[in-house]
Amino acid sequence: MNKDDPQITSPMIIAHRGSSKESPENTLSAFQLAISQGADGIEGDFHLTKDKQVVCIHDSNTARVANTKLIVKNSTLAELKKLDVGYWFNSTFKNEKIPTLNEVLEILPSDKKLFLEIKSDPDIVPYLLSILIDSKINLNQLVIISFNSRILRTIKQQKPELKTLFLVSLKTFNRIKLSNFLVKKLLNKLEDISADGISTSISNFLNETYIHQFISKGYEYHLWTIDNEKIAEQFIKIGVNSITTNTPKIIKQIKYFQ
Ligand code: G3P
Ligand code: CA
pLDDT, tens only, 120-131: 999 999 999 999
212 as an active site residue: the answer is no
pLDDT band with cut points at 50, 70 and 90 for residue 6: low
At residue 25, the pLDDT reads 98
Contact 228, 204 (CB under 8 A): no
pLDDT, tens only, 16-60: 999 999 999 999 999 999 999 999 999 999 999 999 999 999 999
Rounded Cα distance between 221 and 96, Å, is: 34
Looking from the CA of residue 244, the nearest atom of ligand 1 is: 1
58 as an active site residue: the answer is yes
Ligand 1 centre to CA of 44 (Å) is 8
Judge if ipTM > 0.95: yes
At residue 136, the pLDDT reads 86
Terminus-to-terminus CA distance in the chain, angstroms? 12
Class of domain 12-257: alpha beta
pLDDT band with cut points at 50, 70 and 90 for residue 4: low
* Minimum CA distance residue for ligand 1 atom 4: 16
Contact 60, 87 (CB under 8 A): no
Sequence spans of domains, the chain: 12-257
pLDDT, tens only, 194-221: 999 999 999 988 999 999 999 999 999 9
pLDDT, tens only, 134-147: 998 999 999 999 99
Q: pTM of whole model > 0.80? A: yes
DSSP β-bridge partners for residue 223: 200, 243
- Whether residue 9 is predicted with pLDDT greater than 90 in this model: the reply is no
**Residue 184 CB-density burial (10 A; 0-12 exposed, 13-18 middle, 19+ buried):** exposed
